[in-house]
A = this chain, B = another copy of it.
Amino acid sequence: MKNKDAFKCNCTTIHQDIIDSVRSNMPSGEDLYAVAELFKVFGDNTRIKIICALFQSEMCVCDIAKLLNMTQSAISHQLRVLKKARLVKNRRDGKVVYYSLDDEHVKYIFDQGLAHVNE
């Protein structure tokens, strides 16, 4: 066996036709991984609050820290994660750095999520 992980499932195969069909129509593994990584960014209470706050207004780091009653450091770390995921962008004005949303999909994704939990 070339791949040591090739047979993790020892079930009797029931619907090979479905398995083959589904497999051939799945997005690439890289795409799926990237999507999971994206949703992981949404899946944190602090980050979802930051995102939700930025729907209304651009804010500086200290504003967000005050709003959420958290340390400047914690917020800064999370803004870094959000920026890496290309969900927020920032601009510097003197000592102050302002963050705002950087994606048109974010609001839509958030709203659909909210719709689900409120259904």
Contact = CB atoms under 8 A, between A and B. Distances in A.
Given A25-B56, A53-B26, A113-B109, A33 B11 contact: no
Interface in A3-19: 5-15, 18-19
Interface residues of A, number: 69
Nearest to A118: B31
Nearest to A20: B67
Interface string A23-67: 101110001111111111111110111001100110111110111
A9 B39 contact: no
A14 B56 contact: no
Interface of A: 5-15, 18-19, 21-23, 25-27, 31-45, 47-49, 52-53, 56-57, 59-63, 65-67, 69-72, 86, 96, 103, 105-106, 108-110, 112-119
